[in-house]
Each structure stands twice: as structure tokens, then as C-alpha cells.
Amino acid sequence: MGFTTSAFSLKGGSLGRIPRHVAIIMDGNGRWAEMRGLPRIEGHKRGAERAKEIITAASESGIDALTLYAFSLENWQRPDDEVSVLMRLLESYLRTRFNELIKKGIVFKTIGDVWRLPENIRMLVKDAEIRSSNNSGMKLVLALSYSGRNEILRAVRKIIESGIKPEELTEDVVESNLDTAGLMPPDLIIRTSGEKRISNFLLWQAAYSEFYFTETLWPDFTKDEFFIALRDYQLRERRFGNITVRSGTQDVS
């Protein structure tokens, strides 16, 4: 059977439901540029354009939340010029393309140790979160200055500071102190560029996520391939440690 590649055929399909939350590790920008003899930043620019295309495709597919790993805590170790170019790219997207998406109803959120971001970006992020908070469209979650271990560590600190007794500590308490509080865990995590690892992304939340790995470098990851990934997910059988459950949205304890 061939894969169909449209949001319409996915929604109309009988094979399974659309994942509620898709998270993406957008990897391979640097290699994409290097293969073409271009500076790495050209790969990031092309990657950012691709992100815009995939955000629109995800929203049209009826996905409830899309999380993009845009800048990891570890990425601060990259050369200063690459970091500052990435920050400028982010600033420009916050001023232009993310604004257009917010006007179309997207809810904008961030996760990560955002206090490390330059002040101008922090202000723009805050502003986008506030302006979009009454929207009812897809949640677009940007992981910025994010690492899963750091998120868990910050959650543990908050919990200790709250003075909770050990016997009162539950998974719900941990979850409500994570940056992703209020978001369902990702049903599907996509990673581009051929690497098959989680790289400190959504460590707590990925407990039962399905994974889709592709050799495609992020700047080449078209919406058609995104729909193929969703179709692939629809064919999965999710068991959550239990017995057979159709892929999709069902929660099983």
C-alpha cells in the first residue's frame, strides 16, 4: 500500500487517529549546508523556513500541539557567531512569521531555561505567549535553551521549595512542575538526519512516545514527508505496557 500525503486523507483515514502532540528534533541543518559548500547558517535559515511549512501542515492536520526543539541547552556551547546568528534568526521569526501564525490562531508557548536567552528574545517570547494565550488553534511549543534533565532538575527544585512531604510526591506533582505542565505527552517524536537518539529532549514526557527516524536532513523535510510520518504513526499499535490499543489518542493506565 502506498502512503498518502495530504492532511485531508490522514484525517479521513480509517487506520487511526491523528496524534495529539507531535514533537520534532530538527537535526541536520549544518550538514545540509556543508554538503553544499555553504556556511552553516544557511542550513539554519533553510531549516527555519521548513519549520514554518511544517507548523502550517501540522495545524491543518488537526494536531493539538507541535513541539520543536529549536535550541538546546547544549547548543550554547557552539561557536559564538553560530549562537548569535541563531538568536537573530529566532528574533526575526518572532517579529514576523510567528506573528502571522498567532494572527491565524496559533497558541505560542516555550519550554526551557529561558532565563539564559538574551533579554530582547525573552521579551518577544513573553509577548507572543501573552498575545496568543486566548487563541484556540494548535499549540506551538518552542523548546529554547532546553534540556530534559535540566527541566527535571528545575522541577525538583520547585517541588522541594514547596515543602511537600515525600509521601505526597506523585507523578502528577512532578508533571505539574515541568515546563510542559498542562500539555499532553508527545504521541510521536520525529528526528531527522539519520541520528537515532533522544539528545536530552522531553525525557520525562517521552515515556510512551512513538518514534519516527528519517535520514532526511531537516531543511529537506517537506510536509509530504511529515504526512508520511503521521501515516506511519497511524499504523502503530500502542500498548502503554498494557494489551493492544489502536495508535492514536487513548490513554491507558
Q: Is 177 a catalytic site residue?
A: no
Q: How far is the CB of 28 from ligand FPP (least distance, A)?
A: 4
d(CA 244, CA 253): 13
Task: Give the residue with the Cβ less far from ligand FPP, 89 or 164.
Answer: 89
Three-class secondary structure of residue 62 per DSSP: coil
d(CA 126, CA 144): 13
Q: How far is the CB of 161 from ligand FPP (least distance, A)?
A: 32
Q: Among 87-95, 118-126, 170-178, 230-238, which window interacts with ligand FPP (CB under 6 A)? A: 87-95
Q: How far is the CB of 51 from ligand FPP (least distance, A)?
A: 4
Tell me the number of residues near ligand FPP by CB under 6 A.
Answer: 19
Residues shown for the chain: 253
User: Interaction with ligand FPP in 177-206: which residues (CB under 6 A)?
Assistant: 193
- Write the binding mask 28 to 67 for ligand FPP: x where contact by CB under 6 A, - elsewhere: xxxx------------x--xx--x----------------
Alpha helices (H) in 62-178, listed in sequence order: 80-95, 97-103, 119-132, 148-161, 171-177
Q: How far is the CB of 125 from ligand FPP (least distance, A)?
A: 12
β-strand pairing of 245-246 with 237-238: antiparallel
Which position among 10, 23, 54, 70 is part of the footprint of ligand FPP (CB under 6 A)? Answer: 70
Task: Give the residue with the Cβ less far from ligand FPP, 71 or 233.
Answer: 71
Which position among 15, 85, 87, 89 is part of the footprint of ligand FPP (CB under 6 A)? Answer: 89
Does 112 interact with ligand FPP (rule: CB under 6 A)?
no
**What element of type H or E holds 72?**
strand 65-72
Q: How far is the CB of 52 from ligand FPP (least distance, A)?
A: 8
What cell does 41 get? Answer: 547558517
Three-class secondary structure of residue 98 per DSSP: helix
Q: Is 172 a catalytic site residue?
A: no
Neighbouring residues of 161: CB distance < 8 A, sequence distance ≥ 6:
none
d(CA 43, CA 34): 8
d(CA 107, CA 146): 19
**Rounded to whole angstroms, what are the CA distances from 48 to 42, 87, 178, 186, 236?**
10, 12, 26, 21, 29
What cell does 136 get? Answer: 484556540
Which position among 23, 26, 111, 138 is part of the footprint of ligand FPP (CB under 6 A)? Answer: 26
Does 93 interact with ligand FPP (rule: CB under 6 A)?
yes
Task: Give the residue with the Cβ less far from ligand FPP, 32 or 233.
Answer: 32
Which position among 27, 151, 187, 210 is part of the footprint of ligand FPP (CB under 6 A)? Answer: 27
Interface with ligand FPP by CB under 6 A: which residues? 26-31, 44, 47-48, 51, 68, 70-71, 75, 89-90, 93, 193, 218
